[in-house]
Amino acid sequence: MTPDQVAAAMAELLELDEVALDDNFFEIGGNSFTALELATLLEQRHGIRPAFADVVRTATPQALADLLQAGPTA
């Protein structure tokens, strides 16, 4: 999954025109509920479901995509 795909999913959920690769999901309007929705949306579209903790910990499209490309976390 690419950072652009993560950014597009974030923008859709938060009803924004665009999300930059370094935008923090929680600073641009995300919350714990939308973080869970993001994980579900990414799984539906790309077959990879990030853990809730990973969404919270990484928070930006670039960091989340990098983590997901690296493989599963413990």
Indicate the domain borders of the chain: 3-70
Q: What is the rounded average pLDDT of the residues 17-42?
A: 98
Query: Strands, E, within the chain: which ranges?
Result: none
Residue 10: burial class (beta carbons within 10 Å; 0-12, 13-18, 19+): buried
Q: What is the rounded average pLDDT of the residues 61-70?
A: 95
Fold exhibited by the domain 3-70 = 1.10.1200
Evaluate if residue 30 carries a pLDDT over 80.
yes
**What pLDDT, in 10s, does the model give residues 38-64?**
999 999 999 999 999 999 999 999 999
Separation CA 13–CA 41 (nearest Å): 9
What pLDDT does 71 receive? 77
Contact 58, 64 (CB under 8 A): yes
Per the prediction, the chain carries an average pLDDT of 95
